[in-house]
Structure 1
């Protein structure tokens, strides 16, 4: 069963000690072990850790990237929040 995270919980995961999580669409991904593999380097991943990276991700990647790496990096989903 997949875990559900709030944005505040994801925000706590912004360094390697706590694990580095990002949000893409409604998925939460642990990128801690992917830092050295990222073709664009680890710097951008470290800068986006703990944040919603949807806009930046889709700007530079297509859906094949998420298909290739998503399953092994996904740790949960983002909890729905009421929109007023």
Structure 2
């Protein structure tokens, strides 16, 4: 789970073949195997695939959801670039 991704690498994961990855608060989550179980349906996860979904996630979910599923789905973090 200690893998570090660039935003460009996460953006490549937007199909079921390559994996459906989302960024939430700097964490990278592989939701490919969660598509059928997502209460809101697979469509929204596919639409947000490869993107930072933090704003949308927190709009509809509480902290308990990330605590419950995050450990199982997290595959790494997004690389932080130094701002000069």
Q: Quickly name the TM-score band, shorter chain normalised.
A: over 0.9
Moved over 4 A (4+): none
Question: What's the secondary structure of 1:22's corresponding residue?
Answer: strand
What runs of 5+ residues in structure 2 fail to find an aligned partner? none
1:41 paired residue number: 41
TM-score by length of 2: 0.96
Question: Following superposition of structure 1 onto structure 2, how do residues 29-68 of structure 1 map, counting pairs within 5 Å?
Answer: 29-68=29-68
TM-score by length of 1: 0.96
1:8 paired residue number: 8
What runs of 5+ residues in structure 1 fail to find an aligned partner? none
Give the deviation of 1:81 after TM superposition.
1.4
How many residue pairs get aligned? The number is 84
Question: What's the secondary structure of 2:22's corresponding residue?
Answer: strand
Question: What's the secondary structure of 2:37's corresponding residue?
Answer: coil
Give the deviation of 1:82 after TM superposition.
2.5
1-structure distance, mates of 2:19, 2:39: 20
2-structure distance, mates of 1:68, 1:11: 25
Q: What CA RMSD, in Å, does the superposition of the two structures yield over aligned residues?
A: 0.9
